[in-house]
């Protein structure tokens, strides 16, 4: 079973519905004790970085997620669920992230012709075509995004995919048992659904 982490904010309905559409067993986990019965976790997220970290800590997930990753168990982050994996964000100065990966989250500084937040469909170029979550997905496939901030990893090898929006930025990371995307696979039609199935199959094989 895949657990979808419910810490009081996040796009739980669309993520849950996507797994159900695929016929895969995924359930909402509202307390850290529920993680024990899960093979893998999905950390979704919408909203502000600081609020997210406050809710994760308040629901007991902040430390539990660090322990989960350290134990080598599969984790997938989506949107804000990607950003909180890093050390901190310009959106919420002074608020520490989970620090699973070294790096920061930056706000887009773009020409006025490009709107912030970026809302809509954009391509992802595969920096790590060996990533198992890309199986059956074309390089340059379109995914759906809604965000004003992007991750800036300190380790170049973390970058699994990039997207161009005024700048080339990291839109996907992968290292060992952790995979995360800035875009929303659950809202990205065929390519996104394939990515969720790939994550399921990868987690099953771990």
Annotated active-site positions, please? 79, 184, 186
| Cα radius of gyration (the chain) | 16
Q: What is the DSSP track for 140-164?
A: T-EEEEEESEEEEESSGGGEEEEEE
Two structure tokens written together for 200: 């399921």
* Burial category of 60 from C-beta neighbours within 10 Å (exposed 0-12, middle 13-18, buried 19 and up): middle
The alpha carbon of residue 169 and the mean position of all alpha carbons in its chain are separated, in whole angstroms, by 15
Per DSSP, the chain holds a count of helices (H) and strands (E) of 5, 13
| Strands in the chain per DSSP E | 2-5, 26-29, 40-43, 75-78, 88-89, 103-107, 118-123, 125-126, 142-147, 149-153, 159-165, 167-175, 178-181
**Residue 175 β-bridge partners:** 178
Return d(Cα 43, Cα 59) in angstroms, integer: 13
CA angle, residues 39, 40, 45, in degrees to nearest 5? 150
């Amino acid at each position: 079973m895949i657990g979808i982490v419910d810490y009081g904010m996040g796009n739980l309905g669309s993520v849950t519905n996507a797994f159900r559409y695929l016929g895969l067993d995924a359930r909402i986990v509202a307390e850290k004790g529920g993680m024990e019965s899960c093979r893998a976790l999905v950390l979704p997220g919408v909203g502000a970085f600081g609020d997210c970290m406050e809710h994760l800590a308040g629901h007991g997930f902040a430390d539990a997620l660090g322990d989960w990753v350290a134990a080598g168990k599969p984790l997938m982050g989506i949107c804000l669920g990607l950003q909180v994996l890093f050390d901190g964000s310009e959106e919420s100065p002074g608020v520490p992230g989970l620090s699973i990966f070294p790096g920061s989250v930056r706000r887009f500084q773009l020409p006025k012709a490009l709107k912030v937040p970026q809302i809509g469909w954009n391509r992802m170029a595969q920096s790590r075509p060996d990533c198992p979550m890309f199986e059956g997905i074309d390089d340059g496939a379109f995914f759906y995004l809604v965000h004003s901030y992007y991750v800036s990893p300190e380790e170049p090898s973390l970058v699994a995919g990039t997207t161009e929006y005024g700048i080339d930025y990291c839109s996907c990371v992968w290292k060992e048992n952790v995979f995360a995307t800035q875009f929303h696979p659950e809202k990205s039609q065929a390519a996104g659904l394939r990515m969720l199935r790939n994550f399921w199959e990868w987690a099953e094989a771990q």
